[in-house]
Structure 1
């Protein structure tokens, strides 16, 4: 019969850091990242994260819908509001424009202008956001 001897595995490097030293290094990492204000400014200056499906792009182009940067910002804010409420698919009404948006994926599924949305039925939505 063979008797096995189990030896513990020892670390290859010795660490001499105390708890206070590790806290000091984590606080210096936070300082390197920057302040919340800097982070907010950098995020506000970035390009919009909302994407448009091929169908929505076709609808916007065929109906000559003007969708500029101001509308893009309003759309992002509306998506953020819907996401905070737990929405999945939303109808977002902006001026004379109705957009069906996948909130989770931040994708505009379709776009309908004021003339085309008369007597339409919007299905598969769980919320409406008015902006």
Structure 2
């Protein structure tokens, strides 16, 4: 049923802590470095995305966000996700954004003038982004 094991010999199919030649192990480690690149790409996916509608609204309303501002907003989305939010109102300065938290996608955005007498519906949370 099972292969006999003799002193100084391993039976086929048994795995020790080190496998392959030193060259094969080096190639495996190089493959792990390739996986690190893939991991970086996965982290890149964690960035905030903007729907076509949100991009149009930002452009129409003359709203431009700098990288450091996007980082703060992204951190706010992280906080909302940690609390289990699905659709959140994110308030940053005089900008309001509705964000689909699981997809990390800004669905729409408006400036202070557009927020006048506006009712926000279909949200389950709100996050106010503080200044640093």
Q: Same fold (TM over 0.5)?
A: yes
The answer as to 2:101 corresponding to 1:111 is no
The answer on whether the counterparts of 2:46 and 2:104 sit within 8 Å (CA) in structure 1 is no
Q: Which residue does the alignment assign to 2:125?
A: 127
Inter-partner Cα distance in structure 2 for 1:109 and 1:86: 18
Unmatched segments (≥5 aa) in structure 2: 2-10, 19-27
Q: Is the 8 A contact 1:48 1:73 kept in 2?
A: no
Counterpart residue number, 2:67:
69
- Structure 1 stretches (4+) deviating beyond 6 angstroms? none
Determine the C-alpha separation between the residues in 2 that align with 1:61 and 1:82.
Answer: 26
Aligned residues: 105
Aligned-pair Cα RMSD in Å: 3.1
Choose which of 44, 47, 50 in structure 2 pairs with 1:49: 47
Shift of 1:50: 1.3
SS at match of 2:114: coil
Tell me, yes or no, if structure 1 residue 16 matches structure 2 residue 24.
Answer: no
CA distance in 2, matches of 1:58, 1:46: 23
Cα drift, residue 15 of structure 1: 2.3
Give the TM-score of the pair, scaled to structure 2: 0.67
TM, length-normalised to structure 1: 0.68
Cα distance between partner residues in 2 of 1:85 and 1:33: 33
Aligned partners of 1:106, 1:50: CA distance in 2, in Å?
Answer: 5
> Does the residue aligned with 1:122 lie in a helix, a strand or coil?
coil
- Look up the match of 2:91: 93
Q: For structure 1, which runs of at least 5 residues remain unmatched after alignment?
A: 1-7, 23-28
Deviation of the 1:17 alpha carbon: 2.4
What SS does the corresponding residue of 1:116 show, helix, strand or coil?
Answer: helix
CA deviations 1:74-101 (Å, max 9, x no partner) are 1110111000000000000001100000
How far apart in 1 are the matches of 2:115 and 2:68? 22
